[in-house]
Chain A
Amino acid sequence: MKKLLLLGDEAIAQGAIDAGISGVYAYPGTPSTEITEYIQASAEARERDVKSKWSTNEKTAMETAIGMSYAGKKSLVCMKHVGLNVAADAFINSAITGANGGLVVLSADDPSMHSSQNEQDSRFYGRFAYVPILEPSNQQEAYDMARYAFVLSEKYGVPVLLRITTRLAHSRSGVLRTESATENELKLPSDLRQFVLLPYIARKQYNTLLAKQDALEEDAITSGFNKYIEGNDKSLGIIACGIAYNYLIENYEDGKVPYPVLKIGQYPVPKKMLQKLYDSVDEILVLEEGYPILEELLRGYLNLGKKIKGRMEGSVPRAGELNPNIVAKALGMGVAEGFDPANVVKGRPPKLCDGCGHWDSFAALNEAMKSYSPGRVLSDIGCYTLSALPPLQAINSCVDMGASITMAIGASEAGLIPAVAAIGDSTFTHSGITGLLDAVNRKASITVLINDNATTGMTGGQDSAAYGKVEDICRGVGVEEEHIRIIKPLRRLHDENVQVLKEELEYKGVSVVIARRECVQTLARRMKLKAIEKKKAAAKA
Chain B
Amino acid sequence: MKKDIILAGVGGQGILTIATIIGVAALSEGLQLKQSEVHGMSQRGGDVQSHLRISSKSIASDLIPEGKADMIISVEPMESLRYVNMLDKGNGWLVSSMNPFNNISDYPDLEEILHEIWKLPHYVTIDADKIAKEQGSVKAANIVVLGAASPYLGIQYESFTDAIKSVFSKKGEDIVKLNLKALRAGRQYAEKRT
Task: Say whether, besides A339-B120, A342-B81, A114 and B35 are in contact (CB < 8 Å).
Answer: no
Task: Say whether, besides A172-B35, A342-B84, A345-B78, A350 and B69 are in contact (CB < 8 Å).
Answer: no
Is A30's CB within 8 Å of the partner chain B?
yes
Is A340's CB within 8 Å of the partner chain B?
yes
Q: Which residue from A243, A336, A342 sits with its C-beta under 8 Å from B66?
A: A336
The residue in chain B whose Cβ has the minimal distance to the Cβ of A243 is B62
Task: Say whether, besides A324-B61, A339-B89, A344-B78, A353 and B45 are in contact (CB < 8 Å).
Answer: yes
Is B188's CB within 8 Å of the partner chain A?
no
Q: Within the complex, what minimum Cβ distance (angstroms) separates A350 from chain B?
A: 3
1/0 per residue, CB under 8 A from B, across A1-32: the answer is: 00001010000000000000000000000110
The residue in chain A whose Cβ has the minimal distance to the Cβ of B107 is A346
Q: Which residue from B44, B57, B92, B112 sits with its C-beta under 8 Å from A350?
A: B44
* Interface residues of B, count at CB 8 A: 55
Judge whether A350 and B78 touch: CB under 8 Å.
Answer: no
User: With the chains together, A34 CA to B45 CA distance in Å?
Assistant: 21
Judge whether A170 and B36 touch: CB under 8 Å.
Answer: yes
Is A352's CB within 8 Å of the partner chain B?
yes
Q: Which residue from B34, B44, B63, B103 sits with its C-beta under 8 Å from A324?
A: B63
Is A167's CB within 8 Å of the partner chain B?
yes
Report A-chain residues with C-beta under 8 Å of the C-beta of B57. Answer: 254
Is A318's CB within 8 Å of the partner chain B?
no
Judge whether B62 and A168 touch: CB under 8 Å.
Answer: yes
Is B147's CB within 8 Å of the partner chain A?
no
The residue in chain B whose Cβ has the minimal distance to the Cβ of A173 is B34
Judge whether B46 and A351 touch: CB under 8 Å.
Answer: yes
Is B108's CB within 8 Å of the partner chain A?
yes
The residue in chain B whose Cβ has the minimal distance to the Cβ of A110 is B40
Is B56's CB within 8 Å of the partner chain A?
no
Binding site for B on A (CB under 8 A): 5, 7, 30-31, 33-34, 114-115, 167-168, 170-174, 243, 246-247, 249-251, 254-255, 323-325, 328, 335-342, 344-353, 383, 386, 458-460
Q: Within the complex, what minimum Cβ distance (angstroms) separates B68 from chain A?
A: 5
Judge whether A250 and B45 touch: CB under 8 Å.
Answer: no
Q: Which residue from A254, A341, A344 sits with its C-beta under 8 Å from B113?
A: A344
Judge whether A341 and B38 touch: CB under 8 Å.
Answer: no
Q: Within the complex, what minimum Cβ distance (angstroms) separates B83 from chain A?
A: 8
User: With the chains together, A336 CA to B92 CA distance in Å?
Assistant: 13
Judge whether A115 and B36 touch: CB under 8 Å.
Answer: no
B 6-41 contacts with A by CB, 8 A: 10-11, 23, 27, 32-41
User: With the chains together, A296 CA to B60 CA distance in Å?
Assistant: 27
Judge whether B84 and A172 touch: CB under 8 Å.
Answer: no
Binding site for A on B (CB under 8 A): 10-11, 23, 27, 32-47, 51, 57-69, 78-79, 81-82, 84-89, 92, 103-104, 106-109, 112-113, 116, 120
Report B-chain residues with C-beta under 8 Å of the C-beta of A345. Answer: 78, 81-82, 108
Judge whether A246 and B88 touch: CB under 8 Å.
Answer: no
Judge whether B39 and A340 touch: CB under 8 Å.
Answer: no
Judge whether B85 and A172 touch: CB under 8 Å.
Answer: no
Report A-chain residues with C-beta under 8 Å of the C-beta of B63. Answer: 167, 247, 323-324
Q: Which residue from B42, B59, B68, B86 sits with its C-beta under 8 Å from A114?
A: B42
A-B CB contact pairs (8 Å), 26 listed: A30-B40, A114-B41, A170-B36, A170-B39, A173-B33, A247-B61, A255-B58, A255-B60, A324-B63, A325-B66, A336-B66, A336-B89, A337-B66, A337-B67, A338-B86, A341-B81, A342-B81, A344-B78, A344-B113, A344-B116, A345-B81, A345-B108, A346-B78, A346-B108, A348-B47, A353-B45
Report A-chain residues with C-beta under 8 Å of the C-beta of B85. Answer: 337-341
Which of A114, A247, A250, A340 gathers most chain B CB within 10 Å? A250
Report B-chain residues with C-beta under 8 Å of the C-beta of A34. Answer: 39
Which of A170, A249, A344, A353 gathers most chain B CB within 10 Å? A344
Judge whether B37 and A352 touch: CB under 8 Å.
Answer: no
Judge whether B108 and A338 touch: CB under 8 Å.
Answer: no
Task: Say whether, besides A247-B61, A335-B65, A337-B85, A344 and B44 are in contact (CB < 8 Å).
Answer: no
User: With the chains together, A5 CA to B23 CA distance in Å?
Assistant: 9
Report B-chain residues with C-beta under 8 Å of the C-beta of A243. Answer: 62
User: With the chains together, A338 CA to B57 CA distance in Å?
Assistant: 24
Q: Which residue from A115, A254, A341 sits with its C-beta under 8 Å from B84?
A: A341
Report A-chain residues with C-beta under 8 Å of the C-beta of B58. Answer: 255
